[in-house]
Amino acid sequence: MTTTVAVDHEADRRMPRRLLIFSTGSLGDTLLVVPAVRVLREHFPTAELVLLCDVQAGSNYVLAKDILASGGLVNRSITYVIRSGRGGWIFNLIRKLSLLATLRRGGFDTLAYCVEAYQGDRRVERDRRFFRLAGIRRFIGMDGLERRPLSQGLRIERVTNRADELLNRLAASGIPIPSTGHGVLDLNLQPEELAIFEEWRSALPPDGGRPWVGIGPGSKMPAKVWPSERFQVLVQRLIDEFDIWPVVFGGPEDAALGERLVRSWGRGHVAAGALGVRVSAGGLGHCRLYVGNDTGTMHLAAAAAIPCVAIFSSRAPPGRWDPYGGCHHVLRTEIDCAGCRLIACIERDMACLMRISVDHVHQACSDVLSSAGPAMQEDC
């Protein structure tokens, strides 16, 4: 007896063999791509997922491959260097031709376009032409682009979180996605990464069993930095009222500030610069709460599924870069210069951030510390 099995040739044709995920940016950008990467992994289980990401020459930004490849979210990565300044265009042209050759040799059949883009961006079609030259014929994530938000003024419109915006673009390409706000941000931390954190922790002075609170007082962007003096006052109040153990997170550039703050509090640890980015996620997972600036560290805390009290400038439209999930407190002010996108605010001396008082932040932290528990963790 012969059994006939129906074969869906269309589904077979559309199942990528080698899928290239194009994502650029720093730590926060990369972390908000994670829900989209997880959806791609689930929808195309047999495909090889390869991350294509940039490296900014002379910068100390965290590389996307260090976040995604280590946890097995992608199979491997390809990086290319971008150089600015004098002579940079020649270098970048040579780099682009070299990258084109690398991609053609790679035999990629599908591209997932996970860079920030809006309706009408010329870059989208430019990139489509480039990847077609590389031999790619199927494109995901280039449809469903949102319109560019209004730029500046009081009460500028709230926009979709970056993670959900990317998921919506996948949906426009016919890929099923989770409901808004319910993408999975988990980094797949490995046992050896958690072991590195525990080894670091075991060598520190004892915390007396006190609850850890992650502190993020730094940022590479001056316009996002709430004054360190306010962090000093805020955390001292939390120590006095909740007997917390503060732990300062961030990059190596935040270590000196962290040491000064810990000395002023008379307790705490400085993880900034001491742990790699994925190990830091393990450390943040040990915390009851994160309080700090709008930085990659904040998004790392959200990925670790802890509540965030996030102190935002008004330089960008609200919503896009909020910590992902439902358990966070985002503090920002309405101001007539909102949406300025300044890197450093000199003329108005960071008026939007200065309007966020210690009392405002303390109240949000108190709400979390008074109610934190399994239910709140599930919301994250």
Res 94: pLDDT: 77
Res 238: pLDDT: 98
Q: H-helix or E-strand containing 339? A: none
Q: Contact at 8 Å (CB) between 313 and 224?
A: yes
Model confidence at 371, in pLDDT bands (50, 70, 90)? Answer: confident
* CATH architecture label of 15-172: 3-Layer(aba) Sandwich (3.40)
DSSP 222: G
Q: Contact at 8 Å (CB) between 149 and 156?
A: yes
Instruction: Print burial letters for 179-208: b (CB count within 10 Å at least 16), e (below 16).
Output: eeeebbbebebeeebbebbeebbeeeeebe
Task: Sort strands 269-270 and 287-293 into parallel, antiparallel or unpaired.
Answer: unpaired
> 276-324, pLDDT tens digit by residue?
999 999 999 999 999 999 999 999 999 999 999 999 999 998 999 999 9
Measured distance CA(172)–CA(159) in Å, rounded: 18
Could you give phi then psi for residue 90, rounded to 5 degrees?
A: -65, -45
Per-domain boundaries in the chain: 15-172, 191-379
Res 187: pLDDT: 95
For the chain, what is the mean pLDDT?
90
CATH for 191-379, options being 3.90.180.10, 3.30.300.30, 3.40.50.2000, 3.20.20.60: 3.40.50.2000
The torsion of the CA quartet 167, 173, 177, 179, rounded to 10 degrees, works out to 70
Read off the pLDDT of each residue in 249-255 and give the average, rounded to a whole number. Answer: 94
Instruction: Work out the percent of the chain whose per-residue pLDDT is above 70.
Output: 90
Let me know the angle formed at the C-alpha of 124 by 34 and 320, rounded to the nearest 5 degrees. 45
Q: Contact at 8 Å (CB) between 134 and 105?
A: no
The two domains 15-172 and 191-379 share their CATH topology (first three levels equal) = yes
User: Rg of the Cα trace of the chain?
Assistant: 22
Measured distance CA(122)–CA(126) in Å, rounded: 6
